[in-house]
Amino acid sequence: MAYEEPIRDYDELVENCTCAFCGCNCDDLTYLIKDGHVVGVRHACRLGASKVMEDMDQRLLVPMIRNDEGNLVETDWDTALDKAAELIAGAVRPVFYGWSETSIETMKHGIKLGELVGAVLDNQATICHGPSLQAVQNAGYPVNTLGEVKNRADMIVYSGNNAMNSHPRHMGRYSAFPRGYFRKRGRFDRTIVTMDPRYTDTAKMSDIWVGFEQNGDYEFYNAMRAVLRGKKLKKDVISGIPKEDIEELVEAMKTTQYGSLFFGLGLTHTLSKQRSIDIAINLIQDLNKFTKWNLVPMRGHFNVNGFNIFMAFEMGFPYGVDFSRGYPRYMNGETNTIDLLTREEPDVFMVIAADPGAHFPGGANRHLTNIPVIQIDIHWGPSTELADIVLPGSFIGVEAAGTSYRMDGVPIYMKKAIDKPETCRDDEWIVRELHERVQKIKGEKIASK
Amino acid sequence: MEYIIKNGIVYDPTNKIEGEKKDVMFKNGKIVDNVSSDAKVLDATDKLVMAAGVDPHSHIAGPKLVVGRLYRPEDSRRGVKPKTATTRAESGFSIPSCPATGYRYSRMGYGTVVEAAMPPLEAKHTHEEIVAIPNIDIPALALFGNNWFTLEYAKDNNVEDLAAFISKWLKITRGYGVKIVNPGGSEAWGWGMNVHGLDDPVPYWDVTSREVIHTLAEANESLGLPHSIHLHPNDLGHPGNYETTVGSMDLIKDISKNSPVRDQTVHMTHIQYHSYAGTNWRDFESGAEDISKFINKNDYVTCDVGQITLDETTTMTADAPMEFDLHQLNGLKWANKDIELETSSGIVPFIYSGRNSVHSVQWAIGLEMFLMVNNPWQIMLTTDNPNAGPFIRYPKVISWLMSNKRRTEMIEHGEVHKAVGRKSSLATLDREYDFDEIATISRAAPARAYGFTDRGHLGVDARADIAVYDIKPNEIDPSNEYETIECAFGNAALTVKDGQIIVQDGEIVSTKESQTIWANVQGIEERENEVMKKVMPVFDKYYTIKFENYLVHDHYIHNPIEVNIQAGK
Ligand code: SF4
Ligand SMILES: [Zn+2]
Ligand SMILES: [Zn+2]
């Protein structure tokens, strides 16, 4: 890495800003502001800093509507909002997908709109930690806030997650390195374990790397549980790991004082899907008979957990909530976005702060090319290519304030540091406008009957 | 707009009105003593009229609730109701969604519900849910009993700094009062441990539960907060715990009350769970006699019951070690949440059944407490919602209290296990509550215990929070007509909140935004600043969030009712 000169040319510092990238929700960033732009970011990792610094790269700046030739052309806000409202009001099976990179305040208007038109509201959990949530519903949810890990944990396990790359400050801020109340020497007071088929950057930072076989996670966890319960393992090697190593590891986990397991999509999305998480949760429960253990899913987006929490307190279910019958329904495999799209049910699709174009399977995206798609986002992306109406939003935590929930459920108020580009609007404003306009159309319809 | 509720039979224990035929008038959201001839008449001829209910202890908003809803879709699917022209859709049975919570309390004629446990770090979450709940006013009690700063101050017996810390933290979290849950035990759970009894030192902190409770009570009184300390004592649910409970009440007898708006210096919550004799689950039996005796002799104590309703429910408490034990006992899915520097908490689904001897005896103990505490101002109606049962069962509990016949039936017909006869004295208690006593335990006494002078009664200038029930107190025989009692208390004929008609004939006819009641202590700002100088370095070092982002800003409090208190006055 080349040496970079510190940035000295700025007008103003804004402290305690929150990073709107990963589920670490680091809230200690300092933005260096010059001429209304963030010219430097302190404390953030490269992922977070580049998202903030390059906010104008491929930025969506004006509302657009796709014309008859199939090109997105600039339009004014009124026209774009009216057109979008008309589509939503006329839809039979609308789906509002995304939400994980916007604020709770925006979701509040989204759910009103969803209830009004009988939409399905779903977020990225449907393609990431959805199986983890299913496992939580099967087996339980023993978690802790990240400060518990920092202050108490002397053993930390990363399973199916490469924190060093996906959540770069996780180890530094919350787990391996910080000096905690009961772990005054920080890293020296802790044992770090990585359970992952790959020898990742996180594994390189760890004291122990358990490189079990691809898709061997369930069997491996099962073996750990068996050993913990005093059973003798019959095979010498399990999922590629010698049984002596498993026994040694379990002994260490059992005799540690406070253990913390962080798992990622590498555990959630292997062959056994939610069953891998079931058994990880069961393992944590078993370990608590001997000592203290908790786990935390490494949530990706900074507000993916927030949407699940928000939907749960508003309607009782975490994601994939279908209002088409006038009451909330949540049925995995039925009311989730991918299933709906592959069954070609939706007739209007609104995507907010997400990129299905980049992340959905082909079959699902194929249906998106056949129906009207409304996009609310700040950057041009594959989903823009699918969109028929584009509504440029603003950047939460930089240009607009709002609430998010960290991976461990800690709520954070993300403040605003600079003004948004003049032609953009806040997500919250856009969704509220849509709600009001749809309400008006629906009202007129009832009046004309 | 002016209204007159005409010819109802009014029970208003605060104002010593006991079943008088009387009009209740209100205007601009307040009770008044006369209205003009334009007033809208709401006929309540011979019907039961009370102030709207006040729930002194219920878990309705915050992180624990959301974990419950996230991990129990099977509960959310119970109680699903489609939206109507006035209401949003509902879901949930023991852990209803926020809208359902508001509507269901309104249907029972309630106007105020205290959220009993708010972890400061996640106070914003609690407040977001309060905003999402319609119709009722909600104060939240902040958790202090295992807070690291509390533990330090308690160890040094530093009442003055602790008082300033509490005063500051109530401002930061927009809390109303001081909640203590399993003092020391929830911190010990940070290591998978617990403390037992009052004198078991908290690991690493060199302080005991006795010291924590005493110091917090002293600090609470030195500030003169409108509510006393609110104590969930140690050893919840353990056979033989009644000694710890008596000890917990006894240890603050030397503390003098410093508030004119309430009578107690300690409120003991879900006392049912703390009134167990015996030494294990085999010889487990009721300890209600000792507890009620103590309460009858000591008017500085109030309590709420936490009545078992014999339902499938979701238990949730900041008493996390207890929840893990419960999970070990029933094998149902265990959720846990430890919160840095502040508390832990746990959640486990639980199926209370009349066929189970222990559950039945627990059921009996709650009723014994209701019947053996003489002064209804000292005992309040709760199910520790949703721990002992969901709050929608209050009408059922009321029917049990008013009907010895029904209780006897349940015991004799095998609706509860026969152990009730051997292990409790319930069958020998023939006391039946009258409407005045019901009004006391469900509105007047809770309001008094919280120092709410503006609600819980129907005096002039009180908020127009009113409930009318479709029963005729002068005609009904509750002992025989217990089903009518249950039905009426569950479907208010009229619920008025701040002068707005919310419920008519058991249906929601309008909704309003909830209001957040919080306690703002004034006069010791300098002391607070001094304390913060010492708190901040610790905060910055050990929390994982910046202080600026820890504060609950105005943004999260949509309709505040700020109760201003002059410290020490
Ligand atoms: S770790 Fe995540 S939240 Fe923290 S600065 Fe990096 S990207 Fe942002
Ligand atoms: Zn409690
Ligand atoms: Zn409680």
pTM score of the predicted model: 0.97
Minimal Cα–Cα distance from B77 to chain A, Å?
A: 8
Among A248, A275, A297, the domain boundary falls at: A297
Longest dimension (CA), chain B: 70
In a domain, B364, yes or no: yes
pLDDT, tens digit only, all 449 positions of chain A:
577 788 889 999 999 999 999 999 999 999 999 999 999 999 999 999 999 988 788 999 999 999 999 999 999 999 999 999 999 999 999 999 999 999 999 999 999 999 999 999 999 999 999 999 999 999 999 999 999 999 999 999 999 999 999 999 999 999 999 999 999 999 999 999 999 999 999 999 999 999 999 999 999 999 999 999 999 999 999 999 999 999 999 999 999 999 999 999 999 999 989 999 999 999 999 999 999 999 999 999 999 999 999 999 999 999 999 999 999 999 999 999 999 999 999 999 999 999 999 999 999 999 999 999 999 999 999 999 999 999 999 999 999 999 999 999 999 999 999 999 999 999 999 999 999 999 999 987 766 65
Q: Cα–Cα distance between B480 and B405 in angstroms, integer?
A: 7
Q: Cα–Cα distance between B454 and B466 in angstroms, integer?
A: 12
Q: Of A147, A317, A411, which has the smallest distance from its Cβ to B124's Cβ?
A: A411
Q: Cα–Cα distance between A200 and A202 in angstroms, integer?
A: 5
Residues A96 and A67 in one domain: yes
Question: What residue owns the CA closest to ligand 1's atom 4?
Answer: A26
C-alpha A95 to ligand 3 mean position (Å)? 39
A150/B88 touch (CB, cutoff 8 Å), yes or no: no
Minimal Cα–Cα distance from B98 to chain A, Å?
A: 6
Residues A176 and A324 in one domain: no
Residue with tokens 């993300």: A414
Residues A206 and A90 in one domain: no
In a domain, A181, yes or no: yes
CA angle B267, B270, B271 (to 5 degrees): 75
Q: Cα–Cα distance between A287 and A253 in angstroms, integer?
A: 8
Q: What is the mean pLDDT of chain B?
A: 97
Q: Cα–Cα distance between A210 and A196 in angstroms, integer?
A: 6
Question: What residue owns the CA closest to ligand 1's atom 1?
Answer: A169
Minimal Cα–Cα distance from A66 to chain B, Å?
A: 35
Which of B226, B278, B216 is closest to B251 using CA atoms? B216
A314/B99 touch (CB, cutoff 8 Å), yes or no: yes
Q: Of A28, A292, A411, which has the smallest distance from its Cβ to B192's Cβ?
A: A292
Residue with tokens 């509040």: A108
Q: Cα–Cα distance between B138 and B60 in angstroms, integer?
A: 9
Among A264, A297, A330, the domain boundary falls at: A297
Q: Of B129, B148, B190, which has the smallest distance from its Cβ to A292's Cβ?
A: B190
CA B491 from chain centre, in angstroms, equals 21
In a domain, B441, yes or no: yes
B329-371 residue pLDDT tens: 999 999 999 999 999 999 999 999 999 999 999 999 999 999 9
Residues A314 and A376 in one domain: yes
Residues A306 and A291 in one domain: no
Q: Cα–Cα distance between B116 and B374 in angstroms, integer?
A: 25
Helix axes A427-448, A77-90, angle to 10 degrees: 60
Chain pair A-B, CB pairs under 8 angstroms: 191
| pLDDT score for B326 | 95
Amino acid identity of A108?
K
Task: Report CA-CA distances (Å) from B238 to A71, A113, B242, B282, B294.
Answer: 71, 49, 9, 12, 19
Closest chain A CA to residue B78: A316
Residues A115 and A264 in one domain: no
B91/A313 touch (CB, cutoff 8 Å), yes or no: no
Please report, in angstroms and rounded to a whole number, the separation of the first and last CA atoms in chain B: 37
Minimal Cα–Cα distance from A113 to chain B, Å?
A: 12
In a domain, A268, yes or no: yes
A316/B92 touch (CB, cutoff 8 Å), yes or no: yes
In a domain, A31, yes or no: no
Q: Which CATH number covers residue A380?
A: 3.40.50.740
Instruction: Among A25, A26, A53, name the best residue to mutate to test ligand 1's pocket (greatest count of ligand atoms within 8 A of Cβ).
Output: A26
A326/B191 touch (CB, cutoff 8 Å), yes or no: no
Residues A235 and A313 in one domain: no
Q: Which residues line ligand 1 (CB under 6 A)?
A: A 19, 21-22, 24-26, 44-45, 47-48, 167-169
From the number of C-beta atoms within 10 Å of its C-beta (0-12, 13-18, 19+), residue B560 rates as middle
Residues A222 and A250 in one domain: yes
| pLDDT score for A309 | 98
Please report, in angstroms and rounded to a whole number, the separation of the first and last CA atoms in chain A: 68
In a domain, A310, yes or no: yes
Minimal Cα–Cα distance from A133 to chain B, Å?
A: 7
The residues facing A373 across adjacent strands are A349
- Cβ atoms of residues B520 and B170 within 8 Å: yes
| pLDDT score for A319 | 97
Contacts of A144 in chain B (CB under 8 A): 336-340
C-alpha A416 to ligand 1 mean position (Å)? 17
pLDDT band at B499 (very low <50, low <70, confident <90, very high): very high
Contacts of A136 in chain B (CB under 8 A): 70-71, 335
Q: Is A421 helix (H, G, I), strand (E, B) or coil?
A: coil
Burial letters for B512-536: b for 16+ Cβ neighbours within 10 Å, e otherwise? bebbbbbbebeebeebbeebeeebe
Question: What residue owns the CA closest to ligand 1's atom 7?
Answer: A48
In a domain, A78, yes or no: yes
Which of A429, A386, A412 is closest to A24 using CA atoms? A412
In a domain, A29, yes or no: no
Q: Cα–Cα distance between B385 and B115 in angstroms, integer?
A: 10
What percent of chain B clears pLDDT 70, i.e. is strictly above it? Answer: 100
B337/A323 touch (CB, cutoff 8 Å), yes or no: no
A314/B190 touch (CB, cutoff 8 Å), yes or no: no
Percentages helix, strand, coil for chain A (3-state, rounded to 5) are 40, 20, 40
Instruction: Among A17, A18, A21, name the best residue to mutate to test ligand 1's pocket (greatest count of ligand atoms within 8 A of Cβ).
Output: A21
A138/B333 touch (CB, cutoff 8 Å), yes or no: yes
Contacts of B88 in chain A (CB under 8 A): 115
- Cβ atoms of residues A27 and A41 within 8 Å: no
Q: Give the domain extent around A360.
A: 56-128+302-401+423-448
Residues A217 and A359 in one domain: no
Q: Could you tell me which residues come within 8 angstroms of residue A152 by beta carbon, excluding any fewer than 6 positions away? A: A180, A181, A182, A183, A257, A258, A292, B190, B191
Average pLDDT over residues B2-15: 98
Q: Could you tell me which residues come within 8 angstroms of residue A329 by beta carbon, excluding any fewer than 6 positions away? A: A321, A322, A323, A335
Residue B119: pLDDT over 60: yes
Contacts of B546 in chain A (CB under 8 A): 16, 27-28
A260: enclosing H helix or E strand: strand A258-263
| pLDDT score for A446 | 65
How are beta strands B177-181 and B137-143 bridged, if at all? parallel
Q: Cα–Cα distance between B275 and B523 in angstroms, integer?
A: 40
In a domain, B30, yes or no: no
Going edge to edge, which strands form the sheet with A155-159? A208-210, A191-195, A155-159, A258-263, A292-297
In a domain, B228, yes or no: yes
Question: What residue owns the CA closest to ligand 1's atom 5?
Answer: A44
Q: In chain A, which among 81-140 make CB contacts under 8 A with chain B? A: 104, 115, 133, 136-140
Q: Could you tell me which residues come within 8 angstroms of residue B388 by beta carbon, excluding any fewer than 6 positions away? A: B270, B272, B273, B306, B307, B308, B309, B313, B352, B362, B366
Task: Report CA-CA distances (Å) from B441 to A11, A160, B367, B381, B431.
Answer: 62, 54, 13, 5, 15
Contacts of B549 in chain A (CB under 8 A): 16, 18, 27, 412-413
Contacts of B122 in chain A (CB under 8 A): 409-411
A196 touches B at CB < 8 Å? no
* Residue A217 structure tokens: 């996670």
Q: Cα–Cα distance between B522 and A397 in angstroms, integer?
A: 33
Contacts of A18 in chain B (CB under 8 A): 549
B29-87 residue pLDDT tens: 999 999 999 999 999 999 999 999 999 999 999 999 999 999 999 999 999 999 999 99
Residues A250 and A382 in one domain: no
DSSP B164-212: HHHHHHHHHHT--EEEEESTTHHHHGGGT----SSSSPPTTT---HHHH
Which of B360, B540, B468 is closest to B48 using CA atoms? B468
A409 touches B at CB < 8 Å? yes
Number of folded domains that form chain B: 1
Which of B55, B175, B52 is closest to B113 using CA atoms? B55
Contacts of A142 in chain B (CB under 8 A): 334-336
Q: Which CATH number covers residue A197?
A: 3.40.228.10
Q: Residue A404: phi, psi to the nearest 5?
A: -135, 160
Q: In chain A, which among 156-185 make CB contacts under 8 A with chain B? A: 173-174, 179-182
ipTM of the complex in this document: 0.97
A145/B339 touch (CB, cutoff 8 Å), yes or no: yes
Contacts of B469-472 with C-beta under 8 Å, sequence gap 24+, read B469/B47, B469/B48, B469/B49, B469/B50, B469/B109, B469/B493, B470/B47, B470/B48, B470/B505, B471/B47, B471/B48, B472/B9, B472/B46, B472/B47, B472/B48
Q: Which CATH number covers residue B398?
A: 3.20.20
C-alpha A24 to ligand 1 mean position (Å)? 6
| pLDDT score for A1 | 57
How are beta strands B507-508 and B500-504 bridged, if at all? antiparallel
In a domain, B467, yes or no: yes
Residues A108 and A205 in one domain: no
Residues A135 and A167 in one domain: yes
In a domain, B363, yes or no: yes
| pLDDT score for A6 | 85
Closest chain A CA to residue B553: A413
Number of folded domains that form chain A: 2
DSSP A363-386: HHHHHHHHS-EEEEESB--HHHHH
What radius of gyration do chain A's Cα atoms show? 23
A16/B549 touch (CB, cutoff 8 Å), yes or no: yes
B388-419 residue pLDDT tens: 999 999 999 999 999 999 999 999 999 999 99
C-alpha A2 to ligand 2 mean position (Å)? 57
A400 touches B at CB < 8 Å? no
Average pLDDT over residues B524-542: 98
In a domain, A19, yes or no: no
Average pLDDT over residues B319-334: 95
Question: What residue owns the CA closest to ligand 1's atom 2?
Answer: A22
- Cβ atoms of residues B542 and B499 within 8 Å: no
User: Within 10 A of A5 (CB to CB), how many other CB atoms are there?
Assistant: 5
Burial letters for B159-173: b for 16+ Cβ neighbours within 10 Å, e otherwise? bebbbbbbbbbbbeb
In a domain, A18, yes or no: no
Q: Give the domain extent around B285.
A: 50-508
Q: How many residues does chain B have?
A: 569
B478-488 residue pLDDT tens: 999 999 999 99
The residues facing B9 across adjacent strands are B21, B48
H-helix segments, A256-378: 265-268, 274-287, 304-315, 337-342, 356-359, 362-370
Minimal Cα–Cα distance from B43 to chain A, Å?
A: 34
